[in-house]
Amino acid sequence: MGHPTRILSQKNLRFAWKFSRDSKGRGGAPGIDWLSPRKFGDEISSRIKRTNEKISKGNYSFRPLRPLLIEKSQSKLRLICVPTVEDRLVQRAIGMYLEEGDKLKIRNAVSYGFIRRKTLKEALTDGIRLRHQYPWVLKTDIISFFDKIDRQAVLQKFDARLPGSNLRPLIKAAIACEIMPGDTKVDAWLKNQEINKGIGLRQGMPLSPMLSNLFLEKFDKSIESSGIRMIRYADDIAFFLRARLKQMTQKTLLPTCFSRSNRRYHPSNLRIAKLKLQTLKNQWSSWACPAT
């Protein structure tokens, strides 16, 4: 199988750095080594050389993730898992390689976010266009999506798309990344949220969104082939309907759609309304996730 020396060459790592948030201004938050993006950038040539050498020898490994609890609303917290700057760089370079030519075959008509030319802006534009055609919008989300993703299923899908890829060990290692333990507040929060080791993809890693899209590709394709008009941005979903049909939607549409991917929607977050365009725009603007 060999090592992904060419994919993660010094040239490609430098290219990934150039287009990363970490290369601009203060960059993102530091990981568990507390090395800032600015410090990493000051030594970029030597650091990229060392990173490439570790990859060439097959001994590169991702470090545990630094947990960062941020306030999502007045009563809710959201956990962002922060990789080291070096790990972010390697994952971004892998992501850029996989994105080129859609090597994982995750592009489709219904999925937006973390896909080239399928950003929040495109989701908003297409959503407004669909609103002119479909007066009713059903919005919901997937229960504990990232935290309950089956890691083995993601790896199997990767193997099916790129059999024998020399990226497999690094993809497997990224999937298996866990939070650095020891913070009492974070540990208690994780227990309360039933976020367990060995399950899910940790939010904050550059590869997590792409791998989550790979996990849901069967769900996306089943919706696309059914003719139902839908826009999915990560775990947030909007169905566009010609009639209200709330009872039929709850009893038929949603259970049918979600059973195809063995996922569950969140009943408490179910919304169906004849929304104004500005309301839809404001709602979708909140779908953007904070980056690290």
8 A C-beta contact, residue 249 and residue 265: no
Which residue is listed with tokens 């009893």?
Answer: 251
8 A C-beta contact, residue 236 and residue 127: no
Residue 280: what pLDDT?
Answer: 47
pTM here is: 0.83
Strand partners, 138: 239, 272
Count Cα atoms within 13 angstroms, Cβ side, for 44: 16
Paired sense of beta strands 111-112 and 236-241, if any = unpaired
What is the average pLDDT score of the chain?
83
| Chain segment 219-266, per-residue pLDDT in tens | 888 888 878 888 998 888 888 877 655 544 544 555 555 555 555 444
Residue 210: what pLDDT?
Answer: 94
Q: Which two tokens stand for residue 120?
A: 């929040």
Cβ atoms < 10 Å from Cβ of 259? 12
| Chain segment 188-219, per-residue pLDDT in tens | 988 888 889 999 999 999 999 999 999 988 88
Residue 258: what pLDDT?
Answer: 56
Q: Which residues contact 176 (CB under 8 A, 6 or more apart)?
A: 151
Q: Which two tokens stand for residue 166?
A: 């020399």
Report which of residues 17 and 71 the model is more confident about. Answer: 17
Residue 272 three-state SS: strand
